[in-house]
Chains A and B, each alone.
Chain A
Amino acid sequence: MKLVLSGNEAAAYGAMLARAEVISAYPITPQTKIVEKIADLIADGRFKTEFIKVESEHSAMAACISASLVGARTFTATSSQGLLLMHEMLHWASGSRTPVVMVNINRAVAPPWSVWADQTDSIAQRDTGWIQYYCESCQEVVDTIMQAYRVCEDPRVLLPAMLSEDAFFLSHTSEIVDLPPQEELDAFLGTYEPDVRLDIDNPRSFGSLSMPHQWYPEFRYKIQEGMEHAVEAIERVDREYGSLFGRSYGGLLDLYRCEDADTVIVAAGSMCSTIRAAIEELRSEGVKVGMARIRVFRPFPTEAFRALAKDVRSLVVLDRSFSMGSEGAFFSEVKAALYPLSDRPDVRGFAVGIGGRDITIETIRSIITDSLRPDTGITAQKWVGLRRCEE
């Protein structure tokens, strides 16, 4: 069935098609429509789920973790300040090994107040032990929610995942979305059956204490082991989804026109569609450029970047976020992934689109022109398009 859906509505349909059994969420611009659409679907009798109303995002995540421990498939959605308020519980979700799936609308962090696209909110959750997907289209949102549940509920993974959509550019853009038949999705997903669950007839100890000489590092190491399994699971599930439903997204790193490329742009989120258009223009002018879209940031696509680096001269990394006192996380991590290679491509970094500032084809073209200049020895990340007097 094909419907015209915004990125927010696609998230609500994704939760319904995945048959999320418990949903707890708190509304926040620009995510509000997800919660409203879920409420509509429930009111229309189309979506059988338990919606738990809560007083904050912190409580929403606490409710999802508890429901997941019982064995329910759980879903939530948030954005920006709400995601930041959840931070403590994000660690609890991964540490408790609950496969919660969440949609986050990438919105800038205050102050100054801004509701527009910026990936600082989710990048700031990098170390919480969550799998992180970044979506480019409304179709990818639905497909990735399905894939995420399969990956997260894999007994060798058992970790939560957040899917990010850029505020407005994706959350409020409507596109034709193909929804696969429910029976086929049911067969693809199955039901969530944890080996151990909260059960009053069979009590266990959850959220226990571990002294330094006991098991703390071992429990943490097992989270990393789950992330390592997730690399394989994300690739496998994406391929399987592609064979069943005709759409797959390159696993962790989505490569576009990289086969003969000298220069490859690295980016994530909605700007990637603009980058594709810019690449078409540049290609028609004879510039051999491609794109490596970071579809999954955690686990990081280290091996995929190393494989890509063998054949390209330079990587141009675009961050829609910035780590104050350092540089954008994508820029840092791409360089770190390539460090062990003896023959490394040149890596240049640009902070772009901060706080929802528009990224046009012209923006991408100017970045490429800038990065094609001979190496000046300056490797610091540049902030693109700052309003300042010309020197």
Chain B
Amino acid sequence: MNEKTWKEIPIGGLILDAGNAAEYHTGDWRTERPVHILDKCKHCMFCWICCPDSAVIVKDKKMVGIDYDYCKGCGICKDVCPFDAIEMTIEGTED
């Protein structure tokens, strides 16, 4: 557990380490979850280009899934997909 008090924190809203945004999982904000349907996917990379959070995971030139730590569920990937290979489901329900 974090046992810091106001006395130990720096002043001025300062964070002493750089590059800490990665530690903040903005995927927590998501209300809708994109689900990748591999059978329909042609790996055209439209979703990868358009994702504003760089949350489309690509390996060996193949779209292999979505990084739910950072996907905010905006649905752009679903909108741009020409092959209906991404479906949105309400977060908290079964796929």
Contacts and interface: CB of A to CB of B under 8 A. Distances in A.
B92 interface: no
Interface in A88-127: 95-98
Interface in B42-78: none
Interface residues of B, number: 14
B1 interface: no
Contacts of B18: 203-205
A43 to B, nearest CB: 35
Interface stretch (B8-16, B31-39, B81-89): B8-16
Contact of B14 (A208, A217, A226): A208
Interface in B1-41: 5-6, 9-20
Contacts of B15: 204-205, 208
B10 to A, nearest CB: 7
Given A204-B18, A205-B18, A205-B20, A218 B13 contact: no
Interface residues of A, number: 20
- What DSSP secondary structure best describes chain B's contact surface? loop
Contacts of A208: 13-15
B13 A96 contact: yes
Interface in A228-286: none
Given A203-B19, A205-B20, A221 B14 contact: no
A97 B20 CA distance: 21
B12 to A, nearest CB: 4
Contact of A96 (B5, B12, B20): B12
B9 A218 contact: yes
Given A203-B19, A205-B20, A221-B6, A95 B14 contact: no
Nearest to B10: A196
A219 B20 contact: no
A205 B6 contact: no
Contacts of A158: 11-12
Nearest to A203: B18
B17 A97 contact: no
Nearest to A211: B24
A206 B16 contact: no
A97 B9 contact: no
B6 A222 contact: yes
A219 B16 contact: no
Nearest to A202: B18
A383 interface: no
A23 B17 CA distance: 30
A215 interface: yes
A207 interface: yes
A97 B12 contact: yes
A196 B16 contact: yes
A215 B15 CA distance: 11
A210 B9 CA distance: 13
Contacts of A98: 12
Given A204-B18, A205-B18, A205-B20, A95 B9 contact: no
Interface string A284-317: 0000000000000000000000000000000000
Given A203-B19, A204-B18, A218 B12 contact: no
Nearest to A217: B6
A95 B10 CA distance: 12
Given A218-B6, A221-B6, A95 B16 contact: no
Contacts of B9: 215, 218-219, 222
14 contacts: A96-B13, A98-B12, A196-B10, A196-B14, A204-B15, A204-B17, A204-B18, A205-B18, A208-B14, A210-B13, A217-B6, A219-B9, A221-B6, A226-B11
Given A204-B17, A206-B12, 8 more contacts: A158-B12, A196-B16, A205-B14, A205-B17, A205-B20, A208-B14, A219-B9, A221-B6
Interface of B: 5-6, 9-20
- Counting from the closest, the 6 A-B pairs by CB-CB distance are A203-B18, A205-B15, A218-B6, A97-B12, A97-B11, A96-B12
Interface of A: 95-98, 158, 196, 203-208, 210, 215, 217-219, 221-222, 226
